[in-house]
Structure 1
């Protein structure tokens, strides 16, 4: 083909190859900031290391301890979709939608099905409705019904990591499930009345931040860490509403957090501690397990925090064992006549018949 003809073909509309290259470049540009943001979301070593006696400095020559990170903003971004579930249900427009699993050419079909099922589970939670197994089977298509257990496991695990709620089977005549908050927050994790998504995930992250700051975290450090999750004071969040009110008012009123002024601070500065309800309903080990799962690890991968959490567990067990037995034991022997009245001899009510006699 002459050079001029070739240039005309590609002039008005780009060549397919050029379009693909352009799109891939744009995709790479879009992914790059996300990767940088994910990298910056990791807590700095000096901010994570506890300010406790015996805490190791970052400058030691030993291999650095693995660092805990919190969910990045990619998890909490908000999108909309009007074609969810292919019109199987009348509620087709959602006020929220957690982004699906990051798809790559290697993403398998089960992961895509789990992503769709995840949307449905959260929608049912928001509407305060039980999750019927029959409806879930309609979503994942008949050809994958034999893999339903694996698909449901993947969807529920991701919801657990983001929102700190567990999928539990409900005792009912028909198979159905419900999402239950890991902590006993009012309204099953919504904090306030009405519909909405659970706030338990935010609370578990806050408790983890306080734990990693030596059990007392400055307010500015809390907001700095929350900024990596795109949660900012004074800016309404699609899941948490106005975060400052939720954190400094609601969770404090419910006694999950303690918010107090730093002694002798001028101008006034504030700090966060665990509240009595948090100590009652969870533990450092449970919070560490939650954060470790987010980081695709196990608690022992973070020895500094693991040893402290383990020490608290052993201390709690020792306190329970040391508690005096407050059961009041009364020795009382009832009269013989009373025994006959309360427990009449069974033999008096049994008739014996000869073996060959017809009854």
Structure 2
């Protein structure tokens, strides 16, 4: 065989060997790249790949979790908590604003009550009548819805604190006057010229005496006065020094009697109704006053109510007997006058 043919065969063999080697290298690289790729199915070769709870945690960190219901609606769980927090914070703000509004409304209503009480006391001092129209003019128009509450509180202060009754001066004209519950109880005049009625405090003391068996010790009186803001030796901004008021003024005016308890050593003192108290009020009126203070009705105190009824019956009998005694005297007086007129001159 000639050399040229042998050389050609050798060249072909070499080329075939290089092609095979190249193909083997390419296949080897392909297999290596496949080993590094994640398989599509969950087979036993999934070592090192996140799965189960760990996979869920890792995926939650990267992207929101989407769940599908039977109606194929997706709901995103991430972000729900923040929306709930926003709603709760809005509710808290609304509650806070409502609280401030209520406090502001209460404060303004309190101010209007005080203003109206001063206005009515001024009218009482000047002995002038009060019209409902003038009262309403003193109420802020922004609180029209609170007018019944404001008027109720004003009338309660006038009656229970100062002992004044609101009576209609002219029927069907809404014109009123203030009348003292105790007719001859003197008022206290302040340094600035204002007048403070004392009958409200006096009615409270008469009520304490009545509830304690018509005789109250000094300790019992001071227990009630302390709850009302009156303290022995401390001057009250409206009523002055309370001890002088109850042991001197009210005793001097004969509304109270202040006497030493029998056989007490060291000496102790007690309070009773005075002659003027018996003359100008009744146990039933005092019980009605106390009932309003306690926001109830007189019959809620059965024993006191029964005693007040007995007192009323006794008063009506004595008044009737007094009338019967005065009628014959008038008749006899008239008869003597007629006889004198018929005698000849």
Report what 1:118 is aligned to: 116
Residue 301 of structure 1 and its aligned partner are, at CA, apart by 1.1
The residue matched to 2:196 in structure 1 has which SS?
Answer: coil
Aligned partners of 1:288, 1:227: CA distance in 2, in Å? 21
Answer yes or no: is the 8 Å Cα contact 2:255–2:277 preserved in 1: yes
Instruction: Within 5 Å, give how 1:1-359 maps onto structure 2.
Output: 115=113, 118-122=116-120, 124-125=122-123, 128=126, 130=128, 132-133=130-131, 135-140=134-139, 152=151, 154-169=153-168, 177-187=176-186, 189-190=187-188, 195-323=194-322, 324-327=324-327, 328=329, 329=331, 330-331=334-335, 332=338
Q: Deviations over 1:189-214 (max 9, x none)?
A: 43899533211111011000001111
Q: CA RMSD in A?
A: 4.3
- Residues 118 and 159, structure 1, Cα contact 8 Å, conserved in 2: no
**CA displacement, residues 84-114 of structure 1 (integer Å, 9 cap, x when unaligned):** xxxxxxxxxxxxxxxxxxx66997x9x6796
SS of 1:140's partner is coil
Describe the SS at the equivalent of 2:257: strand
Given that 1:163 and 1:200 are in contact with CA atoms closer than 8 Å, whether structure 2 keeps it comes out as yes
Distance 1:114 1:290, change over 3 A: farther
Structure 2, gaps ≥5 residues long: 1-90
Once the 2 structures are TM-superposed, how far is the Cα of residue 142 of structure 1 from its aligned partner? 6.5
Matched-pair contact (CA < 8 Å) for 2:121–2:195: no
Aligned length: 242
SS of corresponding position for 1:325: helix
Q: Which has the higher helix share?
A: 2
- TM-aligned CA deviation for residue 220 of structure 1: 1.2
Closer, same or farther in 2 for the Cα pair 1:116/1:215, shift >3 Å? closer
SS in 1 for 2:138: helix
**How has the CA–CA distance of structure 1 residues 112 and 262 changed in structure 2, closer, same or farther, with 3 Å as cutoff?**
closer
Residues 227-250 of structure 1, C-alpha deviations (whole Å, 9 max, x = no match): 111111111111210000000000
Aligned residues of 1:124 and 1:131 also touching (Cα < 8 A): no
Query: 1:199, 1:237 → 2: CA distance?
Result: 13
Q: 1:146 to 1:295 in 2, by over 3 A?
A: closer
CA shift, 1:224, in A, is 1.4
